[in-house]
Structure 1
Amino acid sequence: MSVATVSRILSGSYPAAPATRARVMRAVKELDYVANAHARALAGTPGKSIAVVLNSVISPHYAHVAQGVETQAAAEGRLCLIGTTGGDPERELAMVKFMREQHAEAVILVGNVVADDRYRERMSHYAHALAAIGSRLVLCGRPPLGPDVPAVVVEYDNAGGAFAATSHLLSAGHERILFVGSRPGYTTADGRLAGYRAALDAHRLPHDPALEVEGTMEWHEGYRMMKERLAAGPPDFTAVFCLNDLIAGGAHKALAERGLRVPDDVSMVGFDDLPPSLDLDLTTVHLPHEEVGRTAVRLALEHEARGGIPPHVTLGTHLVVRGSVRPRFR
């Protein structure tokens, strides 16, 4: 057979006779043939793929979002390309550029990043470049880059979830609530801090900057922040709002080492509803992690087909009440 005939049969664009197709597919199987992706891209027929760029694949939050992306991509007949950045804006920009060169149908960015003016300008450029080739930039869990940037945005209600969790503590009589995990400039932390402060305002309580502790979003940071706080003197708080459940796990360990029990001595809430929240019987805010990933893929591909203004959706959160909060008034 001619090269052109075989190529058309493999691409599915040629109405070949069943016997001819069977001969080609038998040869493919016997030779263990795979198509050259680079040659296909040069010929203008790239493979269908979805790229997801994460801070980390170790964190349960990012892993669950990535699973949602993979699940929806598989349902849509796409393969997944995964890259990690460690939260480095320059590496993220480089990763987006690389995924564009791979002709990914969508490039999905998940996680925090400190977005200065230079970063926003370059990422906006990449969003336009992706749109120009029929692809789409998708921002997950972070705000839009601007009104004229062609990027799909899938957020979740960080501020609303933090407001609900803080209000739960306040309703139980706690007025001195330690906020563990503040990180200025990071959109997730800023949104949750805003919700915490809004709940205090709604209960006519001033927010005390001394009760806001800075740190990153890992277990060991929760342990460090709480250990250092307790080393400074007796607790000046009755409850703790942890930026996520990993921080809550570390903080819980530090409290236990000082002989303080949750919730008998200190009440605690977290955010994410991921391990170790069940092990700690932790009251926490549930995030629809996998739904974020599925929605990102679905909207990117639907928008590619429809065109128009890229959608911006916010997925809801809700409080999951367990046994880590104890009322103060008795």
Structure 2
Amino acid sequence: MAVTLADVAARARVSAATVSRVLSGNYPVAESTRTRVLRAVDELEYVVNGPASALAAATSDLVGVLVNDIADPFFGIMAGAVQAEMGAPTGEPGRGAEKLAVICNTGGSPERELNYLTLLQRQRAAAVVLTGGAVEHPDHAAAVATKASRLAASGTRVVLCGRPPIADATTLTFDNRGGARRLTEHLLTLGHRRIGYVAGPAERTTTRHRLEGHRAALGAAEVNSFDADLERLTVHGLYDRASGYDATLELLRRDRGLTAIVAANDTIALGVCAALRDQGLRIPEDVSVAGFDDLPFSADAVPALTTMRLPLHEAGARAGRLALGREPQPPGGVAMVRAELMARASTAPPRG
């Protein structure tokens, strides 16, 4: 028997009118109520407006692009590149019709990410592009995988950009481990041995992979070989400037003799540089600083920031083409996006 609007309302403990408002998206609804309704929709596999078979075979002109924080240049660059691919240039054959790209800002919330995926399924989106690192929690990973399968089954292309691969999705995965390892090897080659690390949120795949690459380089060079040393010289925080500032003060409290600090991204690195300057330390004469991503401001920082460059615009554009079927799938559905070392003025050999 087909699931009805009334069934969803009963499961969510709301009125049928409230369910309709949530699904239409045209009326204000409390976030807790919206979450409860979307969970009921998902659990019951409710399909909006009539025969499920007819809707499952059709997709709209909508493409959803999920980002953690649209104000973060990392996500803004990728989202902009995906959106640019949605147009159909006049006179170019084989490009297909234009699509409407909708940017879904999750704020890093796993619940909001799942809610957006449910809404995009109900809107029969032509494609969904998920950007940035994934939350490392078994329940959330299983929920995302399930939603990806349902989207794919209904004709929606699912593309991951900067996330680990999952079934039923095409993936452009970033070489975060390899890039972080090469970045730390650069500092080791310069002669640094007392290196601090400012990591991102512990629950994110990007955080773990970049930290693993950093520690792999240290291990190969037999630097900070004890777990206690690795933990002492690592501070976790958000991917923002304030976290970089605060983490640097904590690292200096733990070891005033640090000669280099690696930041998990360029925005964190700005905070690291600000904290060092406020402590009367020069960059790179006293402490070298390195970041990751090569965001637009990195080359113009003072001094210019050494970092690992990820081709974010190119990756986003490719994700957009894959989402629209305008580019062949990579072998096995997974392609690695390599990082390139940009050695600049913020790193130098430590003072003797």
Report the TM-score, using the length of structure 1 for normalisation: 0.80
Shifted more, 62-71 versus 221-230: the winner is 221-230
1:157 aligns with 2:179: no
Residues 264-283 of structure 1 mapped to structure 2, 5 A cutoff: 264-278=285-299, 279-280=301-302, 281-283=304-306
Whether the 8 Å CA contact 1:182–1:243 is kept in 2: the answer is yes
Whether the 8 Å CA contact 1:173–1:329 is kept in 2: the answer is no
Cα distance in 2 for residues equivalent to 1:229 and 1:296 = 38
1:195 aligns with 2:213: yes
State the Cα deviation string for residues 256-282 of structure 1 (Å, max 9, x = none).
Answer: 111001001101111011144222311
State the Cα deviation string for residues 110-157 of structure 1 (Å, max 9, x = none).
Answer: 123323222222222211211122112222211123xxx211111110
Shift of residue 283, structure 1, vs aligned partner: 0.5
Cα distance in 2 for residues equivalent to 1:289 and 1:308 = 18
Whether the 8 Å CA contact 1:284–1:319 is kept in 2: the answer is yes
Name the SS for the 1:154 alignment partner: strand
**1:225 aligns to what?**
247
**1:20 aligns to what?**
none
**1:7 aligns to what?**
none
Q: Residue type matched to 2:110 in 1?
A: P
1:69 aligns with 2:82: yes
Cα distance in 2 for residues equivalent to 1:325 and 1:254 = 16
Shift of residue 204, structure 1, vs aligned partner: 2.5
State the Cα deviation string for residues 47-92 of structure 1 (Å, max 9, x = none).
Answer: 4232101111100100001011012222553220111111111110
Name the SS for the 1:302 alignment partner: coil
**1:53 aligns to what?**
66
Shift of residue 291, structure 1, vs aligned partner: 1.6
Name the SS for the 2:239 alignment partner: coil
**Higher Cα Rg, which structure:** 1
2:321 is matched with which residue: 298, 311, 330?
298
Q: Residue type matched to 1:61 in 2?
A: F
Whether the 8 Å CA contact 1:246–1:275 is kept in 2: the answer is no
**1:320 aligns to what?**
342
Shift of residue 104, structure 1, vs aligned partner: 1.4
Cα distance in 2 for residues equivalent to 1:182 and 1:62 = 15
Cα distance in 1 for residues equivalent to 2:187 and 2:76 = 29
Whether the 8 Å CA contact 1:299–1:311 is kept in 2: the answer is no
Cα distance in 2 for residues equivalent to 1:44 and 1:129 = 12
Cα distance in 1 for residues equivalent to 2:203 and 2:57 = 41
After TM superposition, what 4+ stretches of structure 1 lie above 4 angstroms from structure 2?
41-46, 305-310
**2:9 aligns to what?**
none
Which residues of structure 2 form unaligned runs of 5+?
A: 1-48, 89-94
RMSD of aligned Cα (Å): 2.5
Shifted more, 165-174 versus 286-295: the winner is 286-295
CA 1:307–1:239 in 2, change beyond 3 Å: closer, same or farther?
Answer: closer
Shift of residue 326, structure 1, vs aligned partner: 1.4
CA 1:307–1:212 in 2, change beyond 3 Å: closer, same or farther?
Answer: closer
1:212 is matched with which residue: 234, 237, 251?
234
Cα distance in 2 for residues equivalent to 1:60 and 1:152 = 23
Q: Residue type matched to 2:212 in 1?
A: A
Residues 97-176 of structure 1 mapped to structure 2, 5 A cutoff: 97-145=118-166, 149-176=167-194
Cα distance in 1 for residues equivalent to 2:293 and 2:58 = 40
Report the TM-score, using the length of structure 2 for normalisation: 0.75
The alignment of Structure 1 onto Structure 2 pairs a total of residues equal to 287
1:284 aligns with 2:307: yes
Which residues of structure 1 form unaligned runs of 5+?
A: 1-37
Name the SS for the 2:146 alignment partner: helix
Cα distance in 2 for residues equivalent to 1:106 and 1:167 = 39
Name the SS for the 2:298 alignment partner: coil
